[in-house]
Amino acid sequence: MTTEARLDGAASTIGRPTPPLNAREKLTGRALYAADFKMPGMLHLKVLRSPHAHARIVSVDTAAARALPGVHAVLCGEDTPDRLTGVHRKQHRILATSKVRFVGEEVVAVAAIDEETARDALDLVRVAYEPLPLVRSMDEALRPGAAEVHENTGNLSIEYNVERGDVDAAFAGAALVHEATYETTPQYPGYLEPMATVAWVDGDGRLVVRTSTQSVFLQRNRYADALGLPVSAVRVIQATVGGAFGGKVVEECNSLICAWMAHRLGRPVSFVNSRLDDFLGARSSPAERITLRMGVDAEGHIIAKEVRILADCGAYEGLATHVLQVSLVRSDNMHRHLRNVRSNGRLAFTNHPPRGAVRGFGGPQAAFALNSHMTEMAQALGIDSVDFMKRNAVRAGDTSVHGFELGSAGLAECFDQVSEAIGWAAKRERPRDRGTKRRGIGFAGAIHVSGNREMGNWDGSIVTARVTADGRVTLSTGESDMGQGAYTMLAQCCASELGIPVSRVTVLPTDTDLSPYGHGSIASRVTILAGNAAIRAGRAIRGRLLALASEVLGVPEGDLTIAGGEIYATSTSPNRRLTFGELSRLHLYRHGGEELRVTATYDPPTFLAMSRPDQYGNVAPGYSFAAQAVEVEVDTETGQVEILATVVSDDCGRALNPLAVHGQTCGAAAMGIGWALYEEMKFEDCRLLNGNLADYTMPTAGSLPHIRSEIVESMEPNGPYGAKGASETAMLPGAAAIANAVHDAVGVRIRELPITPEKILAGLRARASADAAPGASHA
Partner 1 sequence: MSRIPIEVIVNGVAQRAEVPARRLLADFLRDDLFLTGTKRGCETGVCGACSVLLDGEVVKSCLSLAVQADGHEVTTVEGLAAGEDLHPLQEAFAEHGGFQCGYCTPGMLMAAIAILHETPSPTEAEVRAGLSGNLCRCTGYVGIVESIMAAAEKMRGT
Q: Using CB under 8 A as the criterion, which residues of the chain lie in contact with partner 1 when the complex forms?
A: 1, 3, 5-7, 17, 19-20, 22-24, 26-33, 35-36, 189-194, 240-245, 272, 274-275, 482-485, 659-660, 662-671, 692-694, 698-702, 704, 706-707, 709
CA distance linking residue 153 with residue 389, whole number of Å: 40
Residue pair 614/607 in contact (Cβ under 8 Å)? The answer is no
CB nearer partner 1, residue 41 or residue 556: 41
CA distance linking residue 416 with residue 250, whole number of Å: 39
- Which 3 state secondary structure label does DSSP give 443? strand
CB nearer partner 1, residue 219 or residue 709: 709
CA distance linking residue 727 with residue 338, whole number of Å: 27
Residue 705 Cβ vs partner 1, minimum distance, rounded to whole Å: 10
CB nearer partner 1, residue 165 or residue 699: 699
CB nearer partner 1, residue 694 or residue 772: 694
CA-wise closest residue to 261 among 213, 218, 316, 207 = 207
Residue 220 Cβ vs partner 1, minimum distance, rounded to whole Å: 22
Question: What phi-psi label fits residue 773: left (phi over 0), alpha (psi between -120 and 50 degrees) or beta?
Answer: beta
Cα 469 to Cα 157, 581, 589: the distances in Å are 55, 5, 10
Q: For residue 56, list its beta bridge partners.
A: 99, 130
CB nearer partner 1, residue 436 or residue 692: 692
Residue pair 493/14 in contact (Cβ under 8 Å)? The answer is yes
CA distance linking residue 690 with residue 688, whole number of Å: 6
CA distance linking residue 751 with residue 757, whole number of Å: 14
CB nearer partner 1, residue 41 or residue 131: 41
CB nearer partner 1, residue 197 or residue 325: 197
- DSSP strand pairing (641-651 vs 622-635): antiparallel
Residue 574 Cβ vs partner 1, minimum distance, rounded to whole Å: 36
CB nearer partner 1, residue 23 or residue 508: 23
CA-wise closest residue to 256 among 86, 374, 388 = 86
CB nearer partner 1, residue 138 or residue 196: 196
Gyration radius of the chain's alpha carbons: 27
CA distance linking residue 374 with residue 369, whole number of Å: 9
Residue 257 Cβ vs partner 1, minimum distance, rounded to whole Å: 19
CB nearer partner 1, residue 1 or residue 540: 1
CA distance linking residue 552 with residue 332, whole number of Å: 58
Residue pair 38/210 in contact (Cβ under 8 Å)? The answer is no
Residue pair 314/353 in contact (Cβ under 8 Å)? The answer is yes
Residue 338 Cβ vs partner 1, minimum distance, rounded to whole Å: 32
Q: For residue 449, list its beta bridge partners.
A: 623
CB nearer partner 1, residue 515 or residue 727: 727
Sequence-ordered list of residues with C-beta below 8 angstroms from that of 570, at least 6 positions apart, any chain: 559, 560, 561
CA distance linking residue 559 with residue 549, whole number of Å: 11
Residue pair 756/390 in contact (Cβ under 8 Å)? The answer is no
